């Protein structure tokens, strides 16, 4: 099972994260310098790195849907 994913500096978007729904063991996710603006699809993540992303207020509010999230950088 996928436990860590680093897509920093890639062209991944919020829509692309929809494909991670089935990754229930994904604990660490590095989205730095990507085009991700929402976190709703990262429900299993415990730690997410978001530096340099266009994270919006609405996208940040979606972090409330991530029950395991303990760190947002």
18-62 pLDDT, tens digit each: 888 888 899 999 999 998 887 777 788 999 999 998 888 888 888
- Specify the pLDDT at position 58: 84
The answer to whether the CB of 13 falls within 8 A of the CB of 33 is no
Question: Which strands sit side by side in the sheet containing 4-6, from one edge to the other?
Answer: 4-6, 28-30, 47-49, 71-72
> What is the pTM assigned to this prediction?
0.86
**What confidence tens digit (pLDDT) does each residue in 2-16 have?**
999 999 999 998 888
Q: Which long-range contacts (CB under 8 A, 24 or more apart) does 60-69 make?
A: 62/38, 63/39, 65/39, 65/40, 66/39, 66/42, 67/43, 68/27, 68/43, 68/44, 69/39, 69/42, 69/45
């Amino acid at each position: 099972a996928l436990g860590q994913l680093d897509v920093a500096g890639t062209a991944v978007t919020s829509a692309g994260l929809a494909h991670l729904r089935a990754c229930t063991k994904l604990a660490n996710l590095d989205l730095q310098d990507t085009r991700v603006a929402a976190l709703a699809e990262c429900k299993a993540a415990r730690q997410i790195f978001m530096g340099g992303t266009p994270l919006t207020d609405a996208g940040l509010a979606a972090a409330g849907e991530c029950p395991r999230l303990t760190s947002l950088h």
